[in-house]
Every structure is written in C-alpha cells, then in structure tokens.
Amino acid sequence: MNNFRKLLLTAAVFAAISACKNSSENNEEEQIQLHEETPTTQKNVQNEENVKFAEGKGIYTQYCVTCHQANGSGVPNLNPPLQETQYVLGDKERLIGIVLNGANEGLEVKGKTYSNSMPPFNYLKDEEIAAVLSYVRNNFGNEAEPVTAEEVKAVRENEE
C-alpha cells in the first residue's frame, strides 16, 4: 500500500467512527426528549383549556374591552375594574346574573361607584358566557374556579 492509500483508509475509518458516535448521541437525546413529553391525556386537557382561554379572550375583546379595558382596569368613575373584585371572584350565580342582565344600580366595587351602565348579554350562548367569565376569573390577577356552561344554563333557567 502506498502512503496516499493508507491516509485515505485512516480517514475513512475515522469518519466511520465519528458517524457512529454522533448517531448514538442523537439517539440518546431523542430518548430524553421523549421522556420529557407530557403524557397525551394531560396534553389534551391542557389544549382544551388553552382553546377555552383563547375563546374567552376573543369574547372579552369583542364585548367587554371597550368598557373594562384590556387589562381589566375599567375607566375611573365610568366602568369598574375586574381585577380581584368581590363580584368577579365571589358567588358565580351573582356574576353570571350581571353578565346576563347587565347592571345599572351603582354597584359598589372596591369602595367606589360608577356612573355608566352595563348592557345585558343574554344573547350570548351559555358556552360563550362561561368562556368569557372563566377568562376574567383567571386573568387580571384573578385566580378562581372557571364557570361552566351548565352553571350559566341553570342561572338562565332560574330567572325565567
């Protein structure tokens, strides 16, 4: 064998060895990633929650944002905030009732009253009211149990 062929052979062997090493490292990485993935059932629940959250945000943006603002701050003297108020965090029936019927009674929110009035949203579907209220109850610094479509339906039926 001449020197040039020896050199080629050595290079080929090196290339083969390093290719092997790389592929086994990649495999290890893939396996680690697989382990870290969330189990499918949990992932589905999370996706479902994300979809509802997005839906709630969409409804909020369409129907509530003009008065209560994107960050839920409301507008001083006109529209009350939705940040950690007793109405948002408290009794769900009362909260659902406000959205279904609107409010024009000078509710006291964090010690202040507001001069604007809130129109009724009874034309929204149970699912839509549930989604927007779940969004409000878990946004703007709020942390409370979501509202379900069944709960909205029950309040609607009680009022009829």
For residue 109, the cross-strand partners are 112
User: What tokens appear for 52 in the block?
Assistant: 């509802």
The least CB distance from residue 157 to ligand HEC, in Å, is 20
In the range 90-109, which residues lie near ligand HEC by CB under 6 A? 95, 98-99, 103-107, 109
* Per-residue mark of binding to ligand HEC, 40-79 (x: CB under 6 A): -----------------------xx-xxx----------x
**Taking CB under 6 A as the rule, does residue 144 contact ligand HEC?**
no
**Burial (0-12, 13-18, 19+ Cβ within 10 Å), 115:** exposed
Answer yes or no whether residue 80 interacts with ligand HEC by CB under 6 A.
yes
The values of phi and psi at residue 109, to 5°, are -120, 115
Residues 113/104, Cβ–Cβ less than 8 Å: no
The distance from CA 67 to its chain's CA centroid, rounded to whole angstroms, is 21
Residues within the interface to ligand HEC (CB under 6 A): 63-64, 66-68, 79-82, 85, 87-88, 95, 98-99, 103-107, 109, 114, 116-119, 121, 132, 136
